[in-house]
Amino acid sequence: MSDAARFGPEDPKARVFILYTGGTVGMAEDATRPGSPLVPQPMHALMGQLESLSQRMGIALEARAFDEPLDSSNVGPDHWRMMARTVEEVYADFDGFVILHGTDTLAYTASALAFMFEGLGKPVVVTGSQLPISDVRTDAVLNLVNAVCIAAWPATALPCIPEVVVVFSDVVLRGCRTRKVSSTSLRGFESPNQPALGSIGEHIEIHENFIRALPSEGRAFRAVTDLSTDVLDVTLFPGFSAAHLERLLLGPSEVRAVLLRTYGAGNAPEDSDFLDLIGRVREHGKLIVSVTQCQEGMVEMGRYAASAGLRERGVVSGADMTPEAALTKLMWTLANRPLDEVVGHLQVNERGEMSENRFDLSFAGPEDPVSRLSWTAVPDPRLLVERVHAVSLRISETSVEGDGVLQISLGSPDGPPSSVLGLLTPEELMRGVLLRIDPALVRPHLRAGEITLTLEGEGLSVGFETLQLGVFSRAQR
């Protein structure tokens, strides 16, 4: 890391730290070879702009740079750790932070930093440009100025955004919702499933109703920088071969988890070889997380038959996370959460990266068919009952004796009387039916803090491997 360069008044209105990592914003041709490819330049090319900003805005700026500025195609987890630790080192001394970065992997960096920063109470603004600062039509100056304005919120009278954000062109975007959508447009980034946090025109307008809340009082900021790189990102395509994936995942590999980019709402081929492979991968203890290839929308496991096979084999829904957020969350969660809690964390919004939480209550079934079963469980304390909008129930690997019906009911020791969630016939049970339940039947029992789920056969006995009650709630921003 280079020595710090400092600009600004002794009694500034705000203090902003700038970290220059490289990227187009500071690129230029090799001066000795006209027409040569653009390469990252040392930070001195930006010094004039930073000094002018500091003087005109009355903001104290401190800037550092990577020893070797990088094209963002070369940025990876080690660089994310370096960025996070640098912010942690200077966190107490500044009101906000700006990271200058190349655009190609900017969305990955913004997502990774969002997960690595715990208790973040100040803006960390990631920006770059499509044209070098030396170009006569550059967008670098405006992006840099706007990023500093967001970071210097005490001086600019803007709201504090306690998040990692991307400032680019005319928008302020949540970092872990951001995707690069163009290599040519000056508006190169969007957040497809999340409204912009701010718009930039003659004035900067921050949409405060979309901003995440400040961390609770007493929660200290820290950078948690452990990451697991034992992950793969795999995209399905017509003609995809299960044998290819088998060699990647079941050979002599240390891969622990796979991000699977599926079709539409989480669909995949119903080919038996492919689904059998997915099952064997899960049996080997490897996680598979499904995200959609579509720019907008979300994975809805079980909505179509083409996604039911994945769900039955334990594939985890990534909801509406971007591939960049899902991959970096997977890397961070594998490294920092107990193995038996990883799936639970992946399915719950932690940094504003997803719109829906899923809380699963799983119950082991009897090997031999029985006519009555009852379980008691305590729902996840993170579940906000008033936000529950959907509930599903699925019984897998069933065996049935008799021709009656199976009644499923939900109660709570200190709550209202039990509610009948549904009646299932032998035919429905053998098909592995997904039962969609009216959330109004479930919410009163969830509020009681403990639930009792009961299966009772009338002329019917049932055995199964697992029963899963899935509770879906809208995530807080």
d(CA 211, CA 389): 22
d(CA 358, CA 145): 40
Residue 111 β-bridge partners: none
* Torsion, CA 438, CA 439, CA 441, CA 446, rounded to 10: 160
Give 2's DSSP letter.
P
Per-residue pLDDT of the chain (477 residues; tens, 9 = 90+): 777 889 888 899 999 999 999 988 876 666 566 666 777 666 776 777 788 888 888 899 999 999 888 989 999 999 999 999 999 999 999 999 999 999 999 999 999 999 999 999 999 999 999 998 878 898 988 999 999 999 999 999 999 999 999 999 999 999 999 999 999 999 999 999 999 999 999 999 999 999 999 998 888 999 999 999 999 999 999 988 888 888 888 877 789 999 999 999 999 998 889 999 999 999 888 999 999 999 999 998 877 767 888 988 889 999 999 999 999 999 999 999 999 899 999 999 999 999 999 998 888 899 889 999 999 999 999 999 999 999 999 888 889 999 999 999 999 888 888 999 999 999 888 877 778 999 999 999 998 888 999 999 999 999 998 888 999 999 987
Which residue carries 């129930």 as its tokens? Answer: 393
Which residue among 21, 24, 86, 398 is the active-site one? 24
Residue type, 220: A
pLDDT score of 27: 67
Of the candidates 256, 369, 354, 262, the one whose C-alpha atom is nearest the C-alpha of residue 308 is 262
Longest pairwise C-alpha distance within the chain = 88
Instruction: Report residue 314 CA to chain centroid gap.
Output: 19
- CB-based contact 90:17 (threshold 8 Å): yes
d(CA 233, CA 325): 12
List, in sequence order, the alpha helices (H) in 91-212.
Answer: 106-116, 140-151, 153-156
Residue type, 81: R
Q: What is the pTM of this model?
A: 0.92
Tokens matching residue 32:
């000795």
Q: Please, what are the domains in the chain? A: 5-223 (3.40.50.1170), 226-350 (3.40.50.40), 355-477 (2.60.120.260)
Residues in CB range of 236: below 8 A, 6 or more apart: 260, 261, 262, 263, 268, 269, 293
| Active-site residue flag, 398 | no
